[in-house]
Amino acid sequence: MKNKCALGLLLSVFFACFAMVASAGATTYSFTSTEVVAGNPFAWQGALDAPTAVPMGDKTLSDVTLATTFNYYAAPITPAQFTLTTVGTPALDPGFVLNAVPLSTQALGSQDATLAFVVTAPTTAPIVDVSLSFVGGILPKAASAASATVTEFVYTNSAKTTLLGTLTVGETGLTFIPSAVVNFAPQTSIYVVKDMSVQGDGAPGAAAFISQVTQNFSEVPVPPSVLLFAPGLLGLVGMRKRLRG
């Protein structure tokens, strides 16, 4: 009976660790870019240089596209300057990090990048919320017409049939929003369109930038809980039989 109790406790610890690290790991991908319109030096588009479906914990990332535009006063920017790193940890909240270091401008410059993608989840672990955060802002930190913002739209599918929610982070003037989250009914697939924009205000020395954008997709923590119950009950059964004996 002692062996059964010990086994139950050991399995409980094992599954607890499994729930935390089973989806660990990170992989970095880059974008390939081509000019949107022949002869247009201010607009580029690209696709993720990765397999059709990229694993992201127990979810998959697919149909990833990135389009960039900039005006005459800003430095040229292309999707090839961005990198995307998928992160499977924590297991219940996988996501990715987009390194958007090229998004920076001064004076009257303007740069914009639009990232679109599909996230698919298993029926046993549907997506119930999307969270968004960024690293960036405007300098100097004072009232200004400059801005660095990320606005995201979450739909049920690429046809944009139903809007599940909108998130906005960034800095405009004295308003700074570092992170945001939107909750919705469980979904096994969502389509996301993310617009990242930096705008200068013409002031000497002022700058707007976005250096990193982080995205996570949460699920209800039912599967790991269920996994923990089984070995725990096994241990209790062993203890009960031992007491009766």
Residue ranges per structural domain of the chain: 2-244
Among 133-137, 205-209, 233-237, top mean pLDDT goes to 133-137
Residue identified by tokens 């729930």 is 19
**What percent of the chain shows pLDDT beyond 70?**
78
Residue 148: what residue type? A
Report pLDDT for 4: 41
Average pLDDT in the chain: 82
Among 47-56, 138-147, 181-190, 213-222, top mean pLDDT goes to 181-190
Query: Could you tell me which of 199, 212, 196 has the C-alpha nearest to residue 112?
Result: 196
Say if residues 41 and 89 touch (Cβ distance below 8 Å).
no
CA dist list (Å): 215 to 35, 42, 174, 200, 211: 27, 27, 24, 25, 14
Say if residues 152 and 132 touch (Cβ distance below 8 Å).
yes
Rounded to whole angstroms, the Cα distance separating 189 from 95 reads: 14
Give the pLDDT mean for 76-80.
93
Say if residues 111 and 197 touch (Cβ distance below 8 Å).
yes
Tell me the per-residue pLDDT of 113-137, one tens digit each, with 9 for 90 and over: 999 999 999 999 999 999 999 999 9
Record the pTM: 0.80
Say whether pLDDT at 185 is over 70. yes
Rounded to whole angstroms, the Cα distance separating 141 from 213 reads: 20
